Copies of this chain bind each other. A is one copy, B any other.
């Protein structure tokens, strides 16, 4: 069984180690360059003379958001990415938050901007995401970056969950060429972008892609055709053994709380896949937790470094 497991913690740790090595190289190059050209100036040099920097904006004190932002801050520190945590009060208006985004967009020392979701009501989250300058939109939720995914354009930022899924597949040796990828769920955050990624004309991709959802007429008939099944529908243990073709690769994006009186907390986390039974027939499968989840923070950091490199180059 353990050989079947796609270990998201292990793969995320490998990516984080690679990013850390990259930042160390960058920092060394900067130290050398600033000794050589002590009087260097101008906007280009100003950009180059800071370390990669991620602005993390969190509005209010939602416990899950507090914990996610802390995790991002910690991972950034581990890699050597500077993070700037900005905590507008819960009373912040849309206009004030937009003004903050505008400031961060204009700030040359900021490479990436992440606004922690969900924003408290009545803030309009999508409008905020779209206000982030595309070249700093490291969460990849803006319209421009989604459009770039559809255009097979590598200069954009792929949002962290779909990027994490693709990285898990690539690092597990799964090539989608000639494969039928069935995505369950058509969300903007996962279903649609991962479908577009699987379809791209790129090494590792080139899949044939089906996107199903709650309105699909005969869902099991489609999921049973999947060589690679991506479950992102948000229903605990929805994908059962009879819905999976033996030998399929199964990626479980769901994180659902299910009541469990045997636990101290009163609940346990479960994915969209009935793990125990599906694991018996899958060739590879991600667990929940410890599958897709840990990848999202790694991909955010990877996007932040990419933003930094592109801003230095541009």
Q: Could you tell me which A residues sit within 8 Å of B by CB distance?
A: 126, 142-153, 177-180, 186, 188, 192-193, 195-196, 199, 201, 206, 208-213, 215-217, 222
Contact = CB atoms under 8 A, between A and B. Distances in A.
Copies of this protein in the complex = 2
Contacts of A195: 211
16 contacts: A143-B148, A143-B153, A144-B147, A147-B147, A147-B148, A147-B150, A150-B193, A177-B215, A180-B217, A199-B213, A206-B215, A208-B215, A208-B216, A208-B217, A209-B210, A209-B211
Contacts of A178: 215-217
Given A144-B147, A178-B216, 8 more contacts: A126-B151, A143-B144, A143-B147, A147-B148, A208-B210, A208-B217, A209-B210, A209-B211
Contact of A188 (B150, B180, B186, B192): B150
Scoring A149, A180, A193 by chain B CB atoms within 10 A of each residue's CB, the highest score goes to A180
A151 B145 CA distance: 11
Contact of A199 (B144, B150, B192, B206): B192
Contact of A208 (B143, B149, B208, B212): B212
Contacts of A152: 188
Contact of A192 (B179, B196, B215): B196
A145 B143 CA distance: 8
A234 to B, nearest CB: 15
Nearest to A143: B147
A219 to B, nearest CB: 8
Contacts of A215: 177-178, 206, 208
A144 to B, nearest CB: 6
A241 B234 CA distance: 39
B144 A192 contact: no
A247 to B, nearest CB: 14
Contact of A150 (B153, B196, B210, B222): B196
A83 to B, nearest CB: 27
